[in-house]
Structure 1
Amino acid sequence: MEKDIALPSYTLLPAGSACGIWDGRRDWVHFFELHLDCMPEPRLDNREIVTAHLASPEELGGIASTKAVTAYLGRDFCC
């Protein structure tokens, strides 16, 4: 993970797993949390992700999200 998100893996805290049928196929998703003193500015490499926004769970109410994100926010971790 260090290579993909540019931080040591030990700073990520396991936050649960969820499984379900999303986008027509069964999937199992593992969630991790990162607690920061302040929000960093995203730095994108412009290869696959061309825009990003870091948001708190409270800000996500008006943003479309995947069923996996909805499961995480609702702490619906049953599999």
Structure 2
Amino acid sequence: MVKVKFFAALRERLQCAEHSVPVHAGESVAAVRAWLIEQHPGWRHELLEKDVLCAKNFVFVDLQEPVSSGDELAFFPPVTGG
């Protein structure tokens, strides 16, 4: 299983802070995202937005990054500061 966390406005729009996703060897962040969309079709628009960022175990990654059981993924909108 991979623990998936949603942050900031994305968490509010999905009305979900955390979700567990089963993974198989060799799957990518994109596969996890596809599984989430398949299980929750209403999340499609939010998760497919081009500016949504992803981190694996606290490091920014792209969608082709492989994931393993025990990893933590985080999806969130771009971060701005002031």
TM-score band, normalised by shorter chain: under 0.3
TM-score (norm 2): 0.24
TM-score (norm 1): 0.25
Q: Determine which structure has greater relative contact order: mean sequence separation of CA pairs < 8 Å that are 6+ residues apart, divided by chain length.
A: 2
Q: Which has the higher helix share?
A: 2
